[in-house]
A and B are shown apart, each in its own frame.
Chain A
Amino acid sequence: MQRRKFLGGLLLGPISASAAEGTIVIRNAKILTVTKGSFDGSILIRDGKIVEVGANVNAPADARVIDAGGQYVMPGIIDCHSHIASEAINEGTVSVSSMTGIEDTVNAEDIGIYRALAGGVTTANILHGSANAIGGKNVVIKMRWGKDAPEILLDGATPGIKFALGENPKRRGGGDTGLATRLRYPATRMGVEDVIREAFTDAKAYKANWDDYRLKVAKGERLIAPRRDLKLEPLVEVLEGKRFVHAHCYRADEILMLLRVADEFGFKIRTLQHVLEGYKVAKEIKEHGAGASTFSDWWSYKMEAFDAIPYNAALMHKKGVLVSLNSDSGELMRHLNQEAAKTVRYGGLTDDEALARITINPAKQLAIDNRVGSIEVGKDADLVIYDKHPLSNYAKVQKVFIDGQMYFDRDKDMSDRAVKAERRKMLAEKQKAAAAPARPAGGARRPQ
């Protein structure tokens, strides 16, 4: 099956190192650990983990050596808000779609994964969209291009769920647009709050019902079990602190509303997403313990996103909020390093603080900082080599490693292009000839 190999090799997974490769040493690098300073040195990787970092490391003689040529090595970028690699984003027909989940629609062959790699991203939080007040469940993936859906999931990541406030979840309710487009409750911000309250009231009743059933059965009563409800189970997990809430929001008033509702029902908001007016209520966000994942300078694309400032990330950070920068876009995802750099310009963050917005901070928000987010001994070898300092506009990703395996190599990408283009041209011509309309005589004719 040579032809199969061809497709497998070129389209899916330009992986040059295999899992069993064992020990790798990256030498001659300017290492940006993000959490432990920056220095010239080497990184020793064994079985996908970082085992040594320093000016000199004890590399065994048979270790595979990658010479970084004096270029920069930083931890793989983590995007706390993305919609790539899924064949569905929104189940927007209902206001509570917690029964749905990205885990069911992961597409490990989405080209967005490869493009993310080319932008230095190694991990992303793949969220349901913001069409409804309570959306679907999310997954955290690593960009293991060429692997299948279960293999790209970051195992051990705490499950989460998407919430959304403001214009998007109320839009289908009609709002200002008149009755004819009214498809769904709610139509106002009040209604959004009501939907969330009602859902958690239902979830509490559901949990009580099951608790009651278990108690009675334990006492020997003969009862039919309650029906399992896949819509309410994730909300019970939220109440029990087993599932994170990632809430899409913009305005200060709706942010406060959600924090109060959560306090009242006894659960936590793990991250506020977008949170463009977060700078106005940073103290309250800090008190609740929510993280904030925002844009650097992207706003004014709709009414609720007007009162935004580029200092938002820095101001929230200085108030003690855990802040990350996200993309929410397959394009922006490819230059999150530049987004981080803007926090140096707007708000005066240090280089390490800026890089933390796209590495260790999103890792902490997703509770995966024991695995990823910085270059430290014991962590996954998820590393990016840039030719220039990653906070420079001129920096280009050269190589990307995940679990010590190389998943992106700029040189290989460039050299593969001609081969792919040639095969593409050959197949296109062959299929064009086959599809030409059959004519009794005179051969194929081009359509007029």
Chain B
Amino acid sequence: MTRRHLLLAAAGALAFGQSGSPNLYAIQNATIHTASGPPIANATIVVRNGLIEAIGASAPAPAGAWTIDGKGLHVYPGLIDALSTWGVPAAAPVAAARPAAAPGGGGRRGANDDTPANVQFQDDGGPEERPSNTSWIKAADLVQSADANLIAARNAGFTTAIVFPTTGIFGGQGSVLNLAGDRAGDMVVSSPVGQYLSMSTRGFSAFPGSLMGSISYVRQVYLDAEHYKTAKSMYAQNARGLQRPAYDRALEGVLESPRTLLPAGRKVEIERMIRFGKELKTPIILYGGVEAWRSADALKTAGVPMLINLQWPEREREGDPDFLDSLRTLETRELAPSGPAVLAKAGVRFAFYSGGVARPADIRKAVKKAVDAGLANEDALKAMTIEAARIYGVDDRLGSLENGKIANLFVTDGDWLAEKTLVKMVFVDGRKFEPPPTPAPAGRTE
């Protein structure tokens, strides 16, 4: 929305909102899937000023409402990508991972000034240098509302994404973002909602260069954060006679984060990260889950939620046709999509995320695979809506169609997972968007 649009809108009728579109809608005669109860047939949903005002078979359309005939249409809560990078352009300033003046860094560097520029000395590097760490940055501060990925996702029925800066080991803090807004700030529903950790390594020459290095580094940072918190609090109570704790933005970022996301694909990793999370003394969310089908008991016992990557493992299309994979690899490919069904049965909290699936149209296809592997359709919907909201503690405002909640929803001409179903309109914060006419539906060519 440009400034010009805003001016035009201000001159418009009172029934219209700030952004130039109506602020009171009633969708009538539709099938409404609330994600908090059974579907309601021939029902009306009323949206006013960005919130859901009424839902029900007998809910009347208020006077002055912009009515939409929902005959033959289905209304769903807006989809949520539970771990996303939509809206944060790739060139976000997360690349500047290293603090400008690293304390205690490069102890012996002076003696090696003849080093070629491409050789990086790390001989004194360690956790105290905070490598690969931008824990203080927030997705809410990086988001761009005109991002093409964000718009493509919205056209596919997504209204919300939990967006994280994901570069480095401590990527930064995530924000719950609605996928529309005149200004970036309008999009933010909640922030910060967690710290994104990868257990990535930095190769041959820079700490950490191995998984055990990454884990030990993260452990030290959380220990340092606890120490920092205590030291700051003692100093704040009475500064007299105490050494001043040095300001550390990496620890500030960790302390600001209400929960921590840890990577965990295979069973071995899931169990490892559950144990590690207990050490970190912070609530954790695991993401990945390719072997979630083997880890339901461990997740259930620990009470840890799992975000499932919708990019299921597949045989490489361009691979050697005669290569025979190991039985273990084959079993993983075969059974990965059954993970959500296993978790649902075990009562483990989980939600889906787009992961490596690039095209939003392919995301629903990937969800369909989980349904084909035994997940109930309504549980799949929950895993893309209310469960994501619950995991991040925003289910009081998002994730289901209930009175008083944010009016995030999408309207289709059929079951949301059916191949030929089209998204007819999407509401974000009560604002209506109509996806452009779809090019040839996915899976068909010419």
Contacts and interface: CB of A to CB of B under 8 A. Distances in A.
A7 B220 CA distance: 37
B338 to A, nearest CB: 8
Interface string A290-324: 00000000000000000000000000000000000
B247 interface: no
B211 A105 contact: yes
B202 interface: yes
B376 interface: no
A187 B245 CA distance: 36
A94 B268 contact: no
Given A90-B209, A179-B114, 15 more contacts: A4-B294, A93-B122, A99-B126, A99-B217, A100-B210, A107-B268, A136-B216, A149-B271, A172-B205, A182-B115, A183-B121, A420-B327, A431-B314, A434-B315, A435-B314
B334 A427 contact: yes
A212 to B, nearest CB: 14
Interface in A64-106: 86-95, 97, 99-102, 104-106
A94 B104 CA distance: 14
Interface string A171-195: 0100000011111110000000000
Contacts of A156: none
B231 to A, nearest CB: 5
B207 A7 contact: no
Interface in A3-29: 3-4, 7-8, 10-11
Most chain B CB within 10 A, of A1, A97, A104, A149, is at: A104
A225 interface: yes
Interface string B296-330: 00000000000000000011111001001111101
A93 B209 contact: yes
B13 interface: no
Interface string A417-442: 00010011001101110110110100
Interface in B113-140: 114-116, 119-127
Contacts of A223: 242
B202 A428 contact: no
A424 B220 contact: no
Nearest to A439: B445
A393 to B, nearest CB: 30
Nearest to A91: B213
A159 to B, nearest CB: 15
B31 to A, nearest CB: 32
A149 B267 CA distance: 11
Interface string B80-107: 0000000000000000000000000000
Interface stretch (B32-40, B171-179, B222-230): B222-230
Nearest to B271: A148
A101 to B, nearest CB: 6
Interface of A: 1, 3-4, 7-8, 10-11, 86-95, 97, 99-102, 104-109, 128, 136, 148-150, 172, 179-185, 222-225, 227-231, 420, 423-424, 427-428, 430-432, 434-435, 437-438, 440, 446-447
A1 to B, nearest CB: 7
Contact of B325 (A4, A106, A149, A428): A428
A7 B342 CA distance: 15
Most chain B CB within 10 A, of A89, A148, A428, A446, is at: A428
Given A107-B268, A183-B205, A7 B211 contact: no
B2 interface: no
A182 B115 CA distance: 8
Contact of A224 (B231, B326, B334): B231
Given A148-B271, A427-B330, A182 B242 contact: no
B334 A100 contact: no
A124 B287 CA distance: 32
Given A150-B275, A183-B205, A230-B220, A97 B213 contact: yes
22 contacts: A7-B294, A8-B294, A86-B212, A91-B213, A92-B210, A93-B213, A94-B124, A94-B207, A99-B127, A102-B212, A105-B211, A107-B268, A148-B268, A148-B271, A150-B275, A182-B115, A183-B120, A183-B205, A224-B243, A427-B331, A431-B315, A435-B316
A224 B267 CA distance: 41
B206 interface: yes
B223 A230 contact: yes
Contacts of A11: 327-328, 331
A408 B185 CA distance: 61
Given A149-B272, A427-B331, A228 B227 contact: yes
Contacts of A106: 272
Contacts of B271: 148-149
B305 to A, nearest CB: 20
A431 B334 contact: yes
A100 B216 contact: yes
